Amino acid sequence: MSQDGVNKGRRTLLVGATAAVGAVGAGFVAVPFVKSWNPSERAKAAGAPAKVDIGKIEPGAMLTAEWRGKPVYIARRTQEMLDTLPGLADRLKDPENTVKSQQPAYADNITRSREPALIVVLGVCTHLGCAPKYHPEIKPEPFDENWQGGWFCPCHGSRFDLSGRVFKGSPAAINLEIPPYMFESDNVIIIGVDEEKA
């Protein structure tokens, strides 16, 4: 103890303990504050890629997945379905597939896909955002007596072929959008990732 009655050792201990408790308290306050800057789990999921098992899709069948809160249609086309595509050019609004803005480079072909048998399209009509219905059968339909399979939007009558290309006379102006996707394996695709840009 010093001459003026102050215990310097005790003072140093109290200052050190107070500083340590203050630092721990600041850490507890800072962690939630810094965490609040990160996107929420819901926001991460909304923009995150979606893995889809395509191994069980039968030829001619379609499954619906979800990516960024939107439906994604994945259909396995038969050879008969693929054979109809070249004969539809005179019925399409964009037969040469010239509107490139809504599709990745690998969709710049008649099948609009990475692999001819598998089509992956956003299930959102390009007219007003309705969900077109899948009609894969090649048979006359009430909305088209020469139907060759594809998607029909019952809300306003837009028609799309089995590659998601829009028909003339439809209110929709452009083809169904092809989302970015890649194959993780023969039976799994990842929607939201383009291996050419990854």
Q: Which residues are known catalytic residues?
A: 156
The stretches of 69-167 forming alpha helices (DSSP H) are 79-84
H-run or E-run covering 188: strand 188-191
Strands (E) across 10-146 are located at 50-53, 62-67, 70-76, 118-122, 133-135
Backbone φ and ψ for 167, nearest 5 degrees, come out as: -85, 150
The radius of gyration of the chain's CA atoms, rounded to the nearest angstrom, is: 29
- Provide the residue type at 123 as one letter: G
